[in-house]
Amino acid sequence: MIDKDLLDILVCPSCKKPVEQKAPESGDNAEAWLECTGSGCGLRYPVREGIPIMLIDEASAPQKSGG
């Protein structure tokens, strides 16, 4: 969905850590998510109509792990 070259240069606007693409879940208002990785803040940024919305105001809180 997101070009790998673009994904390689995108970082979380909040903490500047890399992001990785995640699939949407049922009921999401996005076609995919870009999620902050590693020791970052964990914010999730929506992808709508193929465009990453990298605005902190549009981000969702980190998802809790099921473990």
Q: Is residue 14 part of a domain?
A: yes
Looking at residue 27, its pLDDT comes to 85
Considering the entire predicted model, what is its pTM? 0.86
Number of independent structural domains in the chain: 1
Q: Is residue 13 part of a domain?
A: yes
Summarised one tens digit per residue, pLDDT across range 7-60 is 999 999 999 999 999 999 888 889 999 999 977 799 999 999 999 999 999 999
Question: Which range marks the domain in which residue 10 is found?
Answer: 4-58
Q: How far apart are the first and last CA of the chain?
A: 28
- Beta-carbon contacts of residue 16 (< 8 Å; ≥ 6 apart): none
